[in-house]
Amino acid sequence: MGKSQDGGQGQLGVGIVGAGVVVQGIHAPILQGLTDEFTVKAIWDSDPRRAEDLAAHLSTRTAGSFEDLLADPTVDVMLICSPAPFHAPQAIASMRAGKRAVLVEKPLCTTAEEADAIAQTCAETGARLLVGSMHLFDPAWREVQRLLAENPFEISSVRSNIVLPPNSRFEAWSFERTNETQPAHVPLDDRHMMRLWLLELAIHDLPLIRRLLPPNALPRVISARLLSPNGYAVIAKAGDILIDLVAMMHDHWQPEWVLEAMGPRDQLEIAFTPSFVPAGSGRSRIIRKGSWVGSEPAFANGYFAEWQALGQAARDDDYRFANEEFVDDFRFALSIAEQACALLNGGNAK
Amino acid sequence: MSAPLSVRDGKNLAPWLRAQVASLPRTLRFAEGASADLTVIEGQGAWTSEALDRVNGGARRILVVDPEADEPSEIQRLADVAQQADARLILSEGFAGNPAIAGFCENLDGNYDNILLRGWADTDNRSRLLTQIRIARALGIQLSILENVIFSTNALLAEARGIFGGSLAFVSFGSTRTQACAARYSLTAHSPTRIASLVLFDATNARPGEASFVTAEGSRSLPTIYESAHRRQLRLLASDDESGSSVEELRGFAEDVALTRAAGN
């Protein structure tokens, strides 16, 4: 495995794959706030101009190719923010190139076979894998996990309710695009749209839902439909637990992002902030007979915490996640997405 | 000032309900015997047959508090008998009768594509579903059939298409049996540019419903109404205003019970 220039105890060198909106708006600002731990060594994007713009902004270099990035010995950890179909080959290549840890934006990959290959590569190389599931790292969820470990409760239903204005509403308040290039709009049929919704939006909460269910529970999707004008409604059942996934994105200003788990005597509720905005962590509540415990929003959000976790992973320093957890998260989400798409019956459920 | 109307058999009512009657001393007083002006029936068990007996016994103003599901055919029969006897019979529903609903409906602006009804209450699945269907009706949502109904021991999810504000909307139902929090039901209606939301609480006390509207200009909340559904309906029954005592309301209740019962297991 590669060593960082300072022997592994100081800054970790970061190689970035992709220089799009997520890197510009989320990861680059976070990394600038964590310069004691990380330094960006090089950026590669299939669009060289976009890579150059971001590299200039971060005072770093562009890599001539993905292979050039892999070959850079100063790169200890990789951030992979390319389009999802490239995640698996790039993550695997990064691990095989000896990078200590790889942070892959969600979704981890696109197929079960790719997930298996990533898991196998993790095992063979010993590299650490993280997925950018920021809610999993959000202090509000971490507090809920701590409280549930102390006082678990029987769960009857789980609900993910996501109501969002368009991302463009938040972007301008959180960052200036270094490059205004917009991806071409490709019309999708209903099945592809549902898959996209579940693997790119619901996937923020699906890892948390998986952890609220009994171990190895695989939900059976009962109903799936696209909502007008933009959104989805999915009903699933896992054992005796009902799962309600609803999201809507439309032209208003008020976001609401709530994950709820209800039991006969307890209620768990986490209210998250929208993506992109550096508005701190979510707020958590566990309510029992009218009294609650939980957490108020903290300064650090899930993005910040996931980079801290990446640092711990790369240094093997009090790191709490197993690679397999992230692979299982993807398998869980993929199962739901594939069942939901199959229920759309050729795309006429809208 | 006119003399208060008498309420029959007050001692048999639940304490919280007696307190609500007692809060209207210029309008109502307790009395014994069948000659009382108002009859209050609690809506558990075979309330339909009790109401029928009271109508047949001469009662002409009857309040049924928190009516639960009963045989739809019996409810229809009660409606017929009440109509023939010219009896006023009001179903006083803790959630669907919340006084916040009227103001909420008046302030709805245009059509809404997606409606989410959610509930948290320590009652069984079908009771919660009936409550939600009754709230939907009170809000003017016309439902015909429930789809994708799924129950677990303590939770339910269902979907429907409903006419709301003159257009077809997707309606999602979800609720869970719980003692974690005060019983409450919520509705959130979404259009491409607006959100209307309403939260209703248990009417054993006067916690006001919360109605709010999000538009491009901002968010607006309606004034709070610190009067429980049951107190409001008691006042209505005591008044000469007959707007809330339609046999159509009874027939609607029977239809909603039937819709609930038709939902699969």
Are A191 and A338 in a shared domain? yes
pLDDT of the residue at B103: 96
Cα B111-B162-A203 angle, rounded to 5 deg: 80
Provide the pLDDT confidence category of residue A3 given band limits of 50, 70 and 90.
very low
Alpha-carbon gap: B84 to the closest alpha carbon of chain A (Å): 45
A20-29, A195-204, A231-240, A259-268: segment of lowest average pLDDT: A20-29
A118-132, A156-170, A257-271, B172-186: segment of lowest average pLDDT: A156-170
Transcribe A91-135 into DSSP letters. HHHHHHTT-SEEEEPSSS-SSHHHHHHHHHHHHHH--EEEE--HH
pLDDT of the residue at A4: 47
Q: How many CA atoms lie within 13 A of B5 on its CB side?
A: 19
* Mean local confidence (pLDDT), B156-170: 93
Residue of chain A whose alpha carbon sits nearest to that of B196: A254
Contact at CB, B178 and A163, closer than 8 angstroms = no
Are A102 and A76 in a shared domain? yes
A11-15, A246-250, A320-324, B258-262: segment of lowest average pLDDT: A320-324
Are A46 and A82 in a shared domain? yes
| Residues of chain B positioned with their CB less than 8 A from the CB of A254 | 195, 214, 219
Q: What is the mean pLDDT of chain A?
A: 92
pLDDT at B219 over 70: yes
pLDDT of the residue at B148: 95
CA distance A321 to A336: 23
User: Looking at residue B38, what DSSP letter applies?
Assistant: B
Residue A296 lies in a domain: yes
Tell me, what CATH number does A56's domain have? 3.40.50.720
| Residues of chain B positioned with their CB less than 8 A from the CB of A223 | 147-148, 150, 159
Are A106 and A174 in a shared domain? no
pLDDT tens for A37-71 read: 999 999 999 999 999 999 999 999 999 999 999 99
Are A242 and A270 in a shared domain? yes
Selection from B70, B118, B60, B128 nearest residue B94 by Cα: B128
Provide the sign of the torsion angle of the four alpha carbons A80, A81, A86, A87, taken in this order. Answer: positive
CA distance A253 to A272: 15
| Residues of chain A positioned with their CB less than 8 A from the CB of B191 | 250
Provide the pLDDT confidence category of residue B36 given band limits of 50, 70 and 90.
confident
Contact at CB, B180 and A225, closer than 8 angstroms = no
Selection from B138, B140, B120 nearest residue B128 by Cα: B120
Are A224 and A248 in a shared domain? yes
* Mean local confidence (pLDDT), A233-258: 95
Taken as a whole, chain A contains a residue count of 350
Query: Chains A and B: how many Cβ contacts under 8 Å?
Result: 115
Are A23 and A87 in a shared domain? yes
Residue of chain B whose alpha carbon sits nearest to that of A240: B152
Are A185 and A253 in a shared domain? yes
Percentage of residues in chain A having pLDDT higher than 90: 81
Range of the domain at A244: 136-301+332-343
pLDDT of the residue at A29: 92
pLDDT at A9 over 70: no
Determine the distance from the C-alpha atom of residue B263 to the mean position of all C-alpha atoms in its chain, rounded to a whole number.
Answer: 20
Domain count, chain A: 2
Provide the pLDDT confidence category of residue B14 given band limits of 50, 70 and 90.
confident
- Rg of chain B's alpha carbons, rounded to an integer? 19
Percentage of residues in chain B having pLDDT higher than 70: 97
Are A160 and A183 in a shared domain? yes
| Residue from B176, B205, B217 to probe the interface with A (highest A Cβ count within 10 Å) | B176
The β-bridge partners of A293 are A286
Maximum CA extent, chain B? 58
* Mean local confidence (pLDDT), B77-83: 96
> SS3 for B11?
helix
Are A113 and A41 in a shared domain? yes
pLDDT of the residue at A349: 37
CA distance B102 to B209: 11
Q: Residues near A38 by Cβ (< 8 Å), separated by ≥ 6?
A: A11, A12, A13, A14, A31, A77, A307, A311
Alpha-carbon gap: A99 to the closest alpha carbon of chain B (Å): 46
Instruction: Tell me which amino acid residue B243 is.
Output: S
pLDDT of the residue at A317: 74
pLDDT at B72 over 60: yes
Q: What domains lie within chain B, and their CATH numbers?
A: 5-94+230-262 (3.40.50), 100-226 (3.30.360.10)
- Residue in A157, A228, A254 closest to B176 by CB: A157
- Residue in A242, A248, A251 closest to B155 by CB: A242
Cα B11-B15-B21 angle, rounded to 5 deg: 75
Provide the pLDDT confidence category of residue A89 given band limits of 50, 70 and 90.
very high
Residue recorded with tokens 């579903």 = B129
Contact at CB, A235 and B214, closer than 8 angstroms = no
Residue A116 lies in a domain: yes
CA distance A149 to A147: 5
Pick the more confident residue, A178 or B247.
B247
Residue A326 lies in a domain: no
Selection from B34, B56, B2, B41 nearest residue B240 by Cα: B2
Tell me, what CATH number does A201's domain have? 3.30.360.10
pLDDT at A176 over 50: yes
Alpha-carbon gap: B95 to the closest alpha carbon of chain A (Å): 20
Provide the pLDDT confidence category of residue B3 given band limits of 50, 70 and 90.
confident
* Mean local confidence (pLDDT), A13-41: 95
CA distance B87 to A347: 53
Are A110 and A147 in a shared domain? no
Alpha-carbon gap: B114 to the closest alpha carbon of chain A (Å): 7
- Residue in B155, B159, B180 closest to A287 by CB: B180
Are A60 and A173 in a shared domain? no
* Mean local confidence (pLDDT), B98-110: 94
pLDDT of the residue at A1: 42
Please state whether the predicted TM-score (pTM) of the whole model is above 0.90. yes
pLDDT of the residue at A264: 97
